[in-house]
Amino acid sequence: MLRIGVFVCHCGNNIAGRVRVEDVAKAAADFPGVLYSTTSMYMCSSEGQGLITDMIKKHNLTKIVVASCSPNLHEKTFRGLAEKNGLNYYSVEIANIREQVSWVHDDIDKATEKAIDIVRMAVAKVSHGRPLKKRSVKVTKRALVIGGGIAGIQAALDLADAGFKVTMVEKEPTIGGKMAMFDKTFPTLDCSMCILTPKMVQTRDHENIELLTFSEVEELDGHVGEFNAKIRKKTRYVDEELCIGCGACEKVCPVKTESTFNQGLVKRKAIYFDFPQAVPKVPRIDNDKCIKCGACAKVCPKKCIRYNQKDEIFKRTFGVVIVATGSEIFDDSAYGEYGYGKIPDVITSLQFERMLVAGGPTDGKVLRPSDGKVPKSVVFIKCVGSRDEKKGYPYCSRVCCMYTAKHVLLLNEHHPGTDIYVFYIDIRSFGKNYEEFVKRVQDETGALYLRGRVSRIFDRDGKLHVFGTDTLTGNQVKVDADMVVLANGLVPAKSTRKIARVLNLSKDTHGWLNELHPKLAPVETATRGVFIAGTCQGPKDIPDAVASGSAAASRAMSILNHSSLELEPTIAHVNQFLCSGCENCFMACPFGAIEMVDYKDPNTKKIRRVAQVIESKCTGCGVCSSVCPVPAIDVSGFSAEDVFVEIEALGKGIRKNDAGIKTNGKKK
């Protein structure tokens, strides 16, 4: 027999200010199956929870309706409470009368009426609902970290140090990410490689870490505790096991081609390392550029060149996934006024950074790409692609103010006496010791910071004519510079966009991966067991990227620590007898969780094709159910019947109100 309790929350004045909660409780008492109804100031408080516990015991309640805030907030609280008191976890329904009623309506009478309707619907649903059982899954104690930049490295090391197995997948031939391109880091001026390489080496040598470089995750399905990944290890044409990284091959290779790692500033060979400290120290043959002359194979002391090597496919199961696929710099060819990226001495910040590196393409000298001369005057332009709704993105990229300050300081160090100009809009030095650093740069270098944007750069007679403004005086200013450095903002890496598709992760309008909650769940995603770290989420500096890597690892550990996990039972099921095999659901499912299988019809004894849910892939989103014409496919807890009884209950309320109008004989 049904014994339903209805508990209506005041939420202080949040609900009670717009809804007469006592009236709601009174009306609910008359609904079929309701044995008890009451109100409380804060139902989520220990007092409110105590009340529910007491009433379950006193009235022997079997089902509960709580009329309160959004189920996103306290559904778990009340379901947990019910379970503790011996009820089925799913015997609690939340009637959302705050976000959907009191916060959005002004008319108290109508709001109360609507609240009563919503509670009636919840009572109907809970009366109809059947107890559901949670699914239990085993947790595979291995983490997948996608991306070997500083955030991914940090996450992998934290997990490995805590005793968990980790597979790191990096798409480039070496780990290190963008940080490996940097010279110094702000504001401490630590040598970037000096602090990064120890972590890279640890990652390579850690007994708990399996490192797959020059590899990409091609497919991923499953759910928390058991994600199945297909990883492609692209061929390097070099035997990774045998190679000792001596570099003899690179020396003899006759091919010269653009070096992406060095931002096109120098040429590299067809067989190459990105940089001397690469991890693993194994070269790669760029097959598009290789002329198959065989010189490398001839000199290799270990005979590890493999022209016939093929891609390898790895299949692995993971309990959790951490995505740390990073960002790249904004492509300034959108800026016609700065030469569409075609004026040789207008360079990107990353090119400038590479020039500063002592062992880099110019041996630490800042040189004009056009003539190889040291520039006597350099202009820095900030916010290129950032804070620009027209040609770039509206957001602030967070790092450019600081790296530009660093660039100014280092330029002055490498070439003292350089005439330096910095065009900025606002100086954003938000971090610890950052503002002090900017002041130091201005004091030490004598660089002229000009508050204004540059409108146009002209290239004539070996000089760059930079037309800008100093908004603080209102003057137009012109600098005849030898070099212009653009402070390109950050955009999501192409690989971040790609991985979002493979993993079905949600992105914001600019392509950054979305966190579950911007304040309270900053490294979680909407998919349980998938975490994000570093700049794939949004622009970050190194300390923030490292912190988010550690945060993601720590959240991952809270799953890996369990041997099994409980999953929501609210997934799709097919009534195969009813299924017509139209394949609508098969086409519509965004997770590939539906397969078509043979089914023997019990009436006709004939075999036909019908849909079947792959439970491990299903997330319970309900798309299949909405496209099914029969309907033969339902999501547990949200079946067509479940929804219809709610609608019916709503209808009853409306009919009752209509009747009321007639008997009273007056208009409302």
Which one of 30-38, 55-63, 305-313, 471-479 is the stretch in contact with another protein (CB under 8 A)?
Answer: 471-479
Beta carbon of residue 418, minimum distance to another protein (angstroms, whole number): 23
Q: Give CA–CA dist 544/490, Å, rounded.
A: 15
Preceding peptide of 602 cis, ω within 30°? no
User: Smallest distance, Å, CB 353 to another protein?
Assistant: 24
Nearer to another protein, 199 or 428 (CB): 428
The one segment of 4-12, 122-130, 453-461, 550-558 that binds another protein by CB under 8 A: 453-461
**Residue (246 or 343) nearer to another protein, CB:** 343
Given candidates 254, 294, 336, 446, which one binds another protein under the rule CB under 8 A?
336
What is the closest distance, in whole angstroms, from the C-beta atom of residue 343 to another protein in the complex? 10
Residue number, 217 or 381, with CB nearest to another protein: 381
SS3 labels along 8-38:
EECCCCCCCCCCCHHHHHHHHHCCCCEEEEE
Q: Which residues contact 605 (CB under 8 A, 6 or more apart)?
A: none
- CA dihedral sign, ordered 311, 312, 315, 316: negative
CB nearer to another protein: pick between 227 and 335: 335
Cβ contacts of residue 28 below 8 Å, gap of 6+?
A: 6, 8, 34, 37, 65, 67, 116, 119, 120, 123
Give the interface segment with another protein, choosing from 103-111, 410-418, 456-464, 514-522 (CB under 8 A): 456-464
Strands of 419-424's sheet in order across:
346-348, 483-488, 377-384, 419-424, 448-451
Residues near another protein (CB under 8 A), total = 33
Among 287, 471, 564, 626, binds another protein (CB under 8 A): 471
Q: Among residues 375 and 468, whose Cβ is nearest to another protein? A: 468
Taking the least distance from each CB to another protein, the nearer of 208 and 429 is 429
The residue from 218, 337, 601, 648 that contacts another protein (CB under 8 A) is 337
Torsional sign, CA 155, 161, 167, 168: positive
Q: Does 461 bind another protein (CB under 8 A)?
A: yes
Q: Which residue, 156 or 384, is less far from another protein as judged by CB?
A: 384
Residue from 469, 535, 625, 639 touching another protein (CB under 8 A): that is: 469
Q: Which of 456, 510, 600, 608 binds another protein (CB under 8 A)?
A: 456
Binding region for another protein (CB under 8 A) out of 88-96, 117-125, 463-471, 501-509: 463-471
Q: Which of 175, 454, 486, 533 binds another protein (CB under 8 A)?
A: 454
Tell which one of 1, 106, 443, 460 touches another protein (CB under 8 A).
460
- Candidates 52-60, 329-337, 401-409, 502-510: pick the segment binding another protein (CB under 8 A): 329-337
Q: Does 657 bind another protein (CB under 8 A)?
A: no
- Candidate segments 68-76, 384-392, 480-488, 611-619, binder of another protein by CB under 8 A: 384-392
User: Nearest approach, Cβ of 462 to another protein (angstroms)?
Assistant: 12
The tokens for 200 are 């890279």
Neighbouring CB atoms inside 10 A of 495's CB total 21
CB atoms near residue 72 (< 10 Å): 11
- The DSSP line for 507-567 is B-TTSPBPPSBTTTBSSB-SSTTEEE-GGGSS---HHHHHHHHHHHHHHHHHHHT-SEEEE
Q: Of the two residues 31 and 423, which places its CB atom closer to another protein in the complex?
A: 423
Binding-site string for another protein from residue 40 to residue 69, where x marks contact by CB under 8 A and - marks none:
------------------------------
Question: Given the complex with another protein, which of 219 and 337 has the nearer CB atom?
Answer: 337
Which of helix, strand or coil describes residue 188? coil
Angle between the N-to-C axes of helices 108-128 and 640-664, in degrees from 0 to 180, rounded to the nearest 10: 140
Q: Which amino acid is at 287?
A: N
> 419 or 470, CB closer to another protein?
470
Name residues contacting another protein, limited to 472-531 (CB under 8 A).
474-477
453 binds another protein (CB under 8 A): yes
Q: What angle do CA 43, 46, 48 make, to 5 degrees?
A: 30
The conformation of residue 236, written as its DSSP 8-state character, comes to: -
Q: Which residue from 92, 160, 231, 383 is in contact with another protein, where contact means CB under 8 A? A: 383
Separation of first and last alpha carbons in the chain: 38
The two tokens of residue 585 are 């659901």
CB of 490 to another protein, least distance (A): 17
In contact, 208 and 143? CB cutoff 8 Å = no
DSSP per-residue string spanning 523-534 = SB-SSTTEEE-G
Stretch that binds another protein, among 169-177, 241-249, 382-390, 615-623 (CB under 8 A): 382-390
Sole binder of another protein in the list 128, 451, 497, 609 (CB under 8 A): 451
Nearer to another protein, 43 or 457 (CB): 457
- Kindly state whether residue 458 participates in binding another protein, applying the rule CB under 8 A: yes
* Contact set for another protein, span 146-185 (CB under 8 A): none
109 binds another protein (CB under 8 A): no
Which residues face 40 on adjacent strands?
Answer: 9
Distance in angstroms (rounded) separating the CA atoms of residues 215 and 233 = 4
In 319-356, beta strands by DSSP E: 320-323, 327-329, 346-348
Three-state SS letters, 575-609? CCCCCCCCCHHHHHCCCCCEEEEEEECCCCCCEEE
The interface region with another protein, picked from 12-20, 131-139, 322-330, 452-460 by CB under 8 A, is: 452-460
Separation CA 226–CA 557 (nearest Å): 15
Task: Specify the amino acid at residue 355.
Answer: M
Q: How many other C-beta atoms lie within 10 A of the C-beta of residue 389?
A: 8
Determine whether 135 is exposed, middle or buried from the number of CB atoms within 10 Å of its CB (0-12, 13-18, 19+): middle
Minimum CB distance to another protein smaller for 342 or for 376: 342
> To the nearest whole angstrom, how small is the minimum distance from the Cβ of residue 479 to another protein?
11
Q: What would the x/- binding string for another protein be over residues 386 to 425, using CB under 8 A?
A: -xxxxxx--------------------------------x
DSSP 323: E
Residue with tokens 């809270």: 558
User: Measured from the CB atom, is 65 or 383 closer to another protein?
Assistant: 383
Question: Which residue, 163 or 336, has its beta carbon nearer to another protein?
Answer: 336
Q: Which stretch binds another protein (CB under 8 A): 51-59, 132-140, 383-391, 492-500?
A: 383-391
Contact yes or no for 99/69 (Cβ under 8 A):
yes
Query: Is residue 540 a contact point for another protein (CB under 8 A)?
Result: no
- Cβ of residue 432: shortest distance to another protein, in angstroms? 26
Q: Which of 287, 455, 626, 657 binds another protein (CB under 8 A)?
A: 455
Q: Which residue has the tokens 């029969």?
A: 630
Binding site for another protein (CB under 8 A): 335-337, 339-340, 383, 387-392, 425, 451-456, 458-461, 465, 467-471, 474-477
